[in-house]
Amino acid sequence: MANIVVRYNLAQWLYHHEGTGLPLCRWKKIMKQASRNREESTEVQDALKSCLPSFTGVAVFSAVVNLLALTGSIYMLQVYDRVLSSRSIPTLIGLSLITLAAYSLSGGLDMLRGRMLARIGARFDELLSHRVFDLVATMPLKGAKQSESMQPIRDLDTIRGFLSSLGPTALFDMPFMPIFLIGCFMIHPGIGVLSVVGGVVIIFLTLYTDAKSKGPSFEVTKSGAERHAMAETSRRNAEAIRANGMLGFLAKRYDEVHVRHVNDGLLASESSAGISAFAKVFRMVIQSAVLGLGAYYVIQGQMSGGLMIAGSILMSRALAPIEIAVAHWKGFTASRQAYRRLQHIMTLVPAQGQRMPLPAPKAALSVEDVFVGAPGASLPIVQSASLRLQAGQGLGLIGPSASGKSTLARALVGVWPTLRGEIRLDGAALDQWEPDSLGRHVGYLPQDVELFEGTVAENIARFQPNAKPDDVIAAAQTAGAHELILNLPDGYDTRIGEGGASLSGGQRQRVALARALYGNPFLIVLDEPNASLDGAGDEALNQAILAVRKRGGVVVVITHRPAALGQVDQVAIMEEGRIKAVGPRDEVLQSVMKRNATPAPAPVRPQQAPAAQAANLREVG
């Protein structure tokens, strides 16, 4: 819902501000999409429906188990009324053997029922795990916080845990409660009335507990997610925290979050602890009350001793589903909240439908009057950007910091959607491609390089399971990283650790460049690709850019260092979110030199090469 509100506010801002007016048809389209998104997703419900045959089997087993639960009452009734009166040992042995067989069958079916529930939980997880991972990988691109992004995994675990527990058995046992209550009435109306009253009171206490604990349980989940996110962030940035002396300050912030989580837990526990204790005592009281009432009726001659014991057993069995529900009510409440959260977030981030496969792009990249904003932000960062690059061209994107260069880069590769305008490859808008299909035609080196736990070869091959070694080596050679990788302890099989912890900054950047070049994608977007490179790295980068252009690809290089512009033929200047100038590299760079020149500029010798001219520029931004 937050994403819908943000898009609505942004649409209104663009529509009313002069110079960035959003057409009314586009505004209506956004509102129509927001209205559609209000309809709850049925993916979680469909996953539960797919488990319906297994639930049916559990229901059948539950029916037999509940019928066999009458064994104890019938046995006690027969012992008191037949065996003790007739003093027949053979009758006692026969009844005992039949009872033992019934108990064995009941235990076996109960065990099978538990195993079936465990497999239902695993099946539910299997159906949604891929979709949940998609949510975790997509939600940060929609502006979600880290704690919110990881919540779908925790919600799926919560639902699976409840489905695999004994909690659901209470739902299958409850339909048989009337049978046991009728049995209590058949024994004596007083026993039946007392059993019904006890059940009603316990149900009321359970519902009251749920009402009081719902809010505190939600707060516990929320503060727990915040605490986990803060701890995970601190773990990932342990070096910076230690080196900058931030440990004590962050520890205080963590303590605040931790104390709030503990207090939320105490409040949640205290909100139901007293009621749960009363309910437990009441169940014991009601069970003893049935025995006492039965004894009174025996004394009055209204029932036999066997009926007294049988009535107590029947009443216990009638209330057993309620007792199981109370015991697992906390898990049921957490599972219900997780179900609603998961269903709601799947509504806000719907699954991508199947799209018509498109041919590999090979002609042009066009940016048509594009507006781009950060996920969750209310204002655009890039405004009215337009570009067109043909196959074999390279563009250097320069400009001061915070001018929108990296934002435009994210939009070019489809990471951030456009608010207005279109980015097209060979005439097809980026949203017409399947995300993974688009990714095969795009190579992206982000400003903050992220590598993954695994080998160097796996990272370069983007973790494709059947990657060809020749393709991996070719990408590394194009990036100038082949010799570097061979010097690692195990070469391409070197495990680099989480985030590439075992590599230096320059090594990580070269490996990430090879990953961007893997598979010869048509569009290559490099954001500050030489930030950690030395002179040899700069030369390797320029050779890689030239190789992409020679094979007919398109390269966009975002940089503050002119050394990365040696092999591009176009340059664009961004300022304040707009492209101020774009054209041939030498012309644009000379205009920058003139604009930034001192009152007595040094003349540029005619024989000076373009690369040397670029080297004489001061850093732009």
User: Hey, where are the domains in the chain?
Assistant: 44-347, 364-595
Cα gap 144→177, rounded to integer Å: 46
CATH topology of domain 364-595: Rossmann fold (3.40.50)
User: Lowest mean pLDDT: which of 40-44, 88-92, 132-136?
Assistant: 40-44
Q: Which residues are within 8 A (CB) of 413 and not within 5 positions of it... i.e. 6 or more apart?
A: 442, 444, 523, 525
User: Lowest mean pLDDT: which of 110-124, 303-317, 410-424, 577-591?
Assistant: 303-317
Structure tokens at 322: 């309620």
Asked whether the predicted pLDDT for residue 15 surpasses 50, the reply is: no
- To the nearest 10°, report the CA torsion of 609, 610, 615, 617: 130
Q: What is the mean pLDDT of the chain?
A: 80
Asked whether the predicted pLDDT for residue 463 surpasses 50, the reply is: yes
Tell me the average pLDDT across 103-114. 90
10 vs 462: which has the higher pLDDT: 462
Asked whether the predicted pLDDT for residue 471 surpasses 90, the reply is: yes
Quickly state the pLDDT bin for 240 (edges 50, 70, 90): low
Structure tokens at 264: 């939320």
Asked whether the predicted pLDDT for residue 604 surpasses 80, the reply is: no
Cα gap 102→68, rounded to integer Å: 6
Q: Helices 189-236 and 247-299 meet at what angle, rounded to 10?
A: 170
Give how far Cα 416 sits from Cα of 241, 396, 435, 438, 552, Å: 30, 20, 12, 14, 26
Helix residue ranges per DSSP H, 38-88: 43-50, 52-68, 71-78, 84-86
Asked whether the predicted pLDDT for residue 465 surpasses 50, the reply is: yes
pLDDT over 90 percentage in the chain: 17
Asked whether the predicted pLDDT for residue 600 surpasses 80, the reply is: no
Cα gap 404→400, rounded to integer Å: 9
pLDDT score recorded for residue 274: 65
pLDDT score recorded for residue 12: 37
Cα gap 589→575, rounded to integer Å: 15
Tell me the average pLDDT across 45-50. 88
76 C-beta neighbours (distance < 10 Å), count: 20
Using an 8 Å Cβ cutoff, are 303 and 297 in contact?
yes
pLDDT over 70 percentage in the chain: 85
| pLDDT tens figures, 548-576 | 999 999 999 998 877 888 889 999 999 88
Asked whether the predicted pLDDT for residue 417 surpasses 50, the reply is: yes
pLDDT score recorded for residue 147: 62
Asked whether the predicted pLDDT for residue 370 surpasses 80, the reply is: yes
pLDDT score recorded for residue 597: 61
Using an 8 Å Cβ cutoff, are 4 and 37 in contact?
yes
Could you tell me what percentage of the chain is helix, strand and coil, using 3-state DSSP and rounding each to the nearest 5? 65, 10, 25
Tell me the average pLDDT across 491-496. 90
Asked whether the predicted pLDDT for residue 54 surpasses 70, the reply is: yes
Using an 8 Å Cβ cutoff, are 585 and 396 in contact?
yes
Tell me the average pLDDT across 212-233. 75
Asked whether the predicted pLDDT for residue 84 surpasses 50, the reply is: yes
User: Lowest mean pLDDT: which of 20-24, 522-526, 591-595?
Assistant: 20-24
| pLDDT tens figures, 167-182 | 888 888 888 888 888 8
Using an 8 Å Cβ cutoff, are 524 and 544 in contact?
no
User: Lowest mean pLDDT: which of 15-24, 349-358, 515-524, 603-612?
Assistant: 15-24
390 C-beta neighbours (distance < 10 Å), count: 12
Structure tokens at 278: 């009363």
478 vs 140: which has the higher pLDDT: 478
Which of 14-23, 97-106, 431-440: highest mean pLDDT?
97-106
| pLDDT tens figures, 245-262 | 777 777 888 888 888 888
| pLDDT tens figures, 500-525 | 777 888 888 889 999 999 999 999 99
The helix (H) or strand (E) run that includes residue 88 is none
Q: Which residue type occupies 399?
A: G
| pLDDT tens figures, 153-167 | 888 998 998 898 888
**Cα Rg for the chain, rounded, in angstroms?**
35
Asked whether the predicted pLDDT for residue 68 surpasses 80, the reply is: yes
Exposure of 539 in the CB half-sphere (CA atoms within 13 A): 3
467 vs 214: which has the higher pLDDT: 467
CATH superfamily of 44-347: ABC transporter type 1, transmembrane domain (1.20.1560.10)
Taking the complete model, does pTM exceed 0.85, yes or no? no
| pLDDT tens figures, 376-389 | 777 899 999 999 99
- Residue of 610, 587, 571 whose CA lies nearest to 399: 571
- Residue of 488, 565, 477 whose CA lies nearest to 513: 477
Bridge partners, residue 579, by sequence? 574
3 state SS for 603-615:
CCCCCCCHHHHHH
Using an 8 Å Cβ cutoff, are 575 and 400 in contact?
yes
Asked whether the predicted pLDDT for residue 234 surpasses 50, the reply is: yes
